[in-house]
Amino acid sequence: MSVITDAEFEEVAALAPEVVRRYLSGRGWSAERDLSGAELWEWKPRDEAGPPYELLVPVRRRRDYAGRVADILETLVVVEARRPGDILREMQLPPVDWQFLRLVPPGPSGTAPLLDLVSALSGLKDLHTAAASSALNPQAVQPGQKPQVVKDHVAAVRLDQTRVGSYVIATHTPLPEGPYGGYDRTGQGSLFDEAETARRSLPHPQPSEPFARRVSRMLYAGVACAHAAAEETLAGDSVPRVEHMSGAGLSANLCEALVRIAGEERRDFSFSYAWSSEMPVEQPSPPVAFSPPHAEALEAVAKDLRERLGREEGAVLHGVVTKLHRDVNPREATIYGYLVHEVTGRQRRVRVELRPEDIDKATDAWRRGLEVAVTGDLEPRGAGVRMRRVAAFMVLAE
């Protein structure tokens, strides 16, 4: 057992009783009964037999307050198998929602191949981006250009220290500060959005929830729906129509993020959640686990959604004309360049359907090797995309 240092004991003495109770509530502990000046809290692990762990939590400061909270910290060190300083640091965080990504890489517990982590972190970023986009505007295929509020939310997500259990990546999403985060502390009946709760006959979510909690809920519900879609795909050996789940956070983007987390080696992984006790969640949110077959199924689900529903309006393409197609009507051109809304700036070949007034411009740009800027709607085309319904075609100056 880790010994609490004098400095940590001083930090313990400074913790307010409500801070301790908030931490315990967020980790699954529950107050069972009131005692004289204290509460008895219990926690029972899902996978362990025997009686629950118990803590005596002071509700007000008395002479032995620091000692009682130090006892709590020592118990948590054993239960969580973590250092006292790490637990203290988390106790002092503002209200946050937690997400835990558990990887199952080969090798010793607590380690992971670098390439697995690069893929997992990239997928985790895309997952939060997809959830934030769905929280703002649910769509089966999210556009590449992300609103600033989505970018700001993803920038606010924090990586925390790893946890025991293979390799666990912990992230937390800050919620608004203030008394109970600035909203009514009445609890949230459902983690699913209104369209999905109506279909499932569940209580509607709290209308006054902050955007950060809405994103956390969309992340949980979207991942749960993705798992259900993968299960249905595997059971029926065909891709089902799942766009009705977009109101609960499911999108092609979210499915692709989960596939990216699995990595090229298609590793097992799972998600678990801990909700801020400042805004309690009444609906259970058990971990969601994915296997290699799930990743293959989600890849097919994402491809199906993009092929059927993946039109993106008003995209801007910058590049050079590499080929003119005179054997089709309407005439088309292949432009090699990048889409302005894509953050990566990836170079690609896009087949562009030309208007009659664009043909001479495209021909001149092709002959002279000039760059062009084209605005139109993107649609899937095999493994790539096609631009149709062109609204503007400009040849840029030399």
Distances (CA, A) of 347 to 119, 308, 335, 361, 366: 21, 24, 10, 22, 18
CA distance 310 to 142: 8
CA torsion, points 259, 260, 265, 267, in degrees to nearest 10? -60
Q: Which residues contact 220 (CB under 8 A, 6 or more apart)?
A: 191, 249, 271, 273, 285
pLDDT tens digits along 5-57: 889 898 888 888 888 988 888 788 888 888 777 899 998 887 777 788 889 89
Measure the CA–CA gap between 209 and 127, rounded to whole angstroms: 21
Looking up tokens 């937690």 gives 98
Measure CA of the first residue to CA of the last residue in the chain; give whole Å: 71
Q: Report how far Cα 4 is from the mean position of its chain's Cα atoms.
A: 35
Single-letter amino acid, residue 99: Q
Residue with token string 């989600």: 298
Q: What is the pLDDT of residue 123?
A: 96
| pTM for the model | 0.70
CB atoms within 10 A of CB 343: 10
pLDDT at position 165, please? 67
- What is the predicted pLDDT for the residue at 183? 43
Residues 6+ apart with CB under 8 A from 137: none
Sequence-ordered alpha helix ranges (H) in 237-350 = 252-262, 292-309
- pLDDT, residue 107, reads 84
Q: What dihedral do alpha carbons 207, 212, 215, 217 form, nearest 10°?
A: -60
Q: Read off the pLDDT of residues 320-344 as tens digits, 9 standing for 90 and up.
A: 999 999 888 889 999 999 988 776 6
Tell me the C-alpha to C-alpha distance, in Å, between residue 229 and each of 79, 280, 306. 35, 28, 15
Rounded distance between C-alpha atoms, residue 254 and residue 123, angstroms: 9
Nearest to 378 by CA among 133, 123, 150, 141: 141
Residue of 215, 30, 182 whose CA lies nearest to 94: 182
Could you tell me which of 249, 258, 157 has the C-alpha nearest to residue 205? 249
Q: Does pLDDT of 194 surpass 70? A: no
Number of H helices, E strands in the chain: 11, 13
**What is the DSSP annotation of 189-207?**
S-SS-HHHHHHHT-PPPPT
Q: Is the pLDDT of residue 383 over 90?
A: no
**Residue 149's pLDDT is what?**
92
Q: Which residues of 9-19 are buried (b: 16+ CB within 10 A; e: fewer)?
A: eebbeebebee
pLDDT at 202: 39
- Average of per-residue pLDDT across 223-245: 95
Average pLDDT value for residue range 196-217: 66
| 336-368 residue pLDDT tens | 999 887 766 778 899 999 999 999 999 999 999
Q: Is 88 left (phi over 0), alpha (psi -120 to 50) or beta?
A: alpha
Give the residue among 331, 127, 131 at the shortest CA–CA distance from 212.
131
